[in-house]
């Protein structure tokens, strides 16, 4: 049985975006037209909307209240322990609570949809899994060749809310050309987090491929699953690109300064590349408790923050 899906359309460009409201509010399709022919910007497994595929493996999974891995399956916070979810295959929790669950549509127009997930409303048992109630509101808006996503994170509880937000887009390769491996990927970062068993040690080291990645690293030379740091922002925005030399198309990904880190991941199937803005480092709570600045947000009761990600094809 398929989950609830909302489709956004833009008649001016022939653009279409599909969001699986019933499966994490995942935008699993962003498709554009060129010369009367459609091409996919976002990659997902066939029939993702059925709801039986791996939630973190397609489309644009939304990661909250922790993006990436947390060590083990238990969170320790202010003297209490909380049971986490997800399994990375190595015994660690991964990617939070909201990417597999149904959201609610609270606003809808032909080119815009707003979804919301609040723990106490949508799955009250999560109140035993995290230190405070939380509310995430996500908006997708399609205009021409641009898909804009904005996020509001709120603490509706009377206790502090530790949290981090991440988006995990799978960008389809190639972008209308014939060879994925010939595409180039640009991400303006100069540092990376040292990892052991896929968890950050707390040390930030030089990114060996910083210059070629900044200028455009050929996809055939990329094998990544790295948390990049020291990102370059201009006027409050970080800009990454994917360039398809055969079609002449460029995909531009921009995200604001609320996103402090960026994960770059090359899936084994080589049909996509992930460029993932994160507001904090994976395993942020443990790092912060060890005195490492991890980007962890701790929202006081009634507190909130906003973040924005924009993708467009040129």
Tens digit of each residue's pLDDT (9 = 90 or more) over 270-291: 999 999 999 999 999 999 999 9
33-70: string of b/e by CB count within 10 Å (b at 16+)?
Answer: ebeeeebbbbbbbeebbebebebbbbbbbbbbbbbbbb
For 79-97, b/e burial (b = at least 16 CB within 10 A) is: eeebebbbebeeebbbbbb
End-to-end CA distance of the chain, in Å? 37
- CA separation for the pair 77, 280 (Å, rounded): 17
186 token code pair: 């640009």
Please state whether the peptide bond connecting residue 174 to the residue before it is cis, i.e. omega within 30 degrees of 0.
yes
Which pLDDT score is estimated for 65? Answer: 98
Supply the pLDDT for residue 1: 61
Provide the pLDDT for residue 5. Answer: 98
In 199-284, DSSP assigns E strands to 199-206, 217-218, 225-231, 233-234, 237-244, 249-256, 261-265, 272-278
Residue 83, pLDDT score: 94
Check residue 35 and give its pLDDT: 74
Distance CA 153, CA 136 (A): 5
Report the phi/psi class of residue 181: left, alpha or beta, with left for phi > 0 and alpha for psi in -120 to 50: alpha
Of 38, 44, 41, the C-alpha closest to 24 is 44
314 residues of the chain, pLDDT tens digit each: 689 999 999 998 899 999 999 999 999 999 998 777 899 999 999 999 999 999 999 999 999 999 999 999 999 999 999 999 878 989 999 999 999 999 999 999 999 999 999 999 999 999 999 999 999 999 999 999 999 999 999 999 999 999 999 999 999 999 999 999 999 999 999 999 999 999 999 999 999 999 999 999 999 999 999 999 999 999 999 999 999 999 999 999 999 999 999 999 999 999 999 999 999 999 999 999 999 999 999 999 999 999 999 999 99
Q: Domains of the chain by range and CATH?
A: 5-175+268-313 (2.70.98.10)
Structure tokens at 276: 């993932």
Alpha-helix residue ranges (DSSP H) falling in 81-148: 119-122
């Amino acid at each position: 049985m398929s989950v609830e899906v909302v489709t956004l359309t833009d008649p001016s460009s022939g653009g279409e975006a599909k969001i699986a409201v019933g499966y994490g509010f995942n935008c699993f399709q962003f498709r554009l037209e060129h010369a009367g022919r459609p091409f996919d910007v976002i990659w997902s497994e066939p029939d993702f909307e059925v709801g039986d595929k791996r939630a973190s493996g397609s489309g644009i999974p939304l990661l909250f209240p922790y993006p990436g891995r947390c060590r083990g399956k238990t969170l320790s916070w202010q003297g209490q322990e909380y049971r986490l979810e997800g399994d990375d295959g190595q015994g660690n929790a991964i990617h939070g609570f909201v990417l597999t669950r149904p959201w609610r549509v609270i606003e809808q127009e032909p080119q815009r949809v707003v979804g919301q997930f609040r723990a106490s409303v949508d799955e009250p048992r999560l109140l035993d899994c995290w230190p405070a109630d939380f509310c995430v509101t996500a908006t997708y808006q399609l205009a021409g060749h641009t898909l804009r996503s904005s996020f509001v994170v709120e603490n509706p509880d009377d206790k502090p809310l530790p949290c981090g937000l991440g988006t995990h887009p799978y960008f389809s390769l190639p972008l209308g050309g014939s060879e994925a491996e010939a595409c180039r990927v640009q991400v303006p970062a100069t540092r990376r987090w040292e990892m052991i068993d896929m968890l950050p040690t707390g040390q930030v080291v030089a990114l060996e491929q910083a210059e070629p990645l900044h200028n455009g690293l050929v996809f055939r030379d990329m094998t990544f699953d790295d948390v990049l740091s020291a990102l370059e922002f201009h006027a409050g925005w970080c800009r990454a690109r994917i360039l398809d030399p055969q079609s002449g198309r460029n995909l531009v990904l921009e995200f604001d300064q609320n996103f402090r880190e960026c994960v770059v991941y090359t899936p084994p199937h080589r049909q996509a590349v992930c460029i993932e803005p994160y507001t904090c480092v994976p395993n942020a709570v443990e790092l912060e408790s060890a005195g490492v600045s991890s980007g962890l947000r701790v929202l006081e009761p009634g507190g909130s923050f906003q973040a924005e990600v924009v993708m467009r094809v040129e």
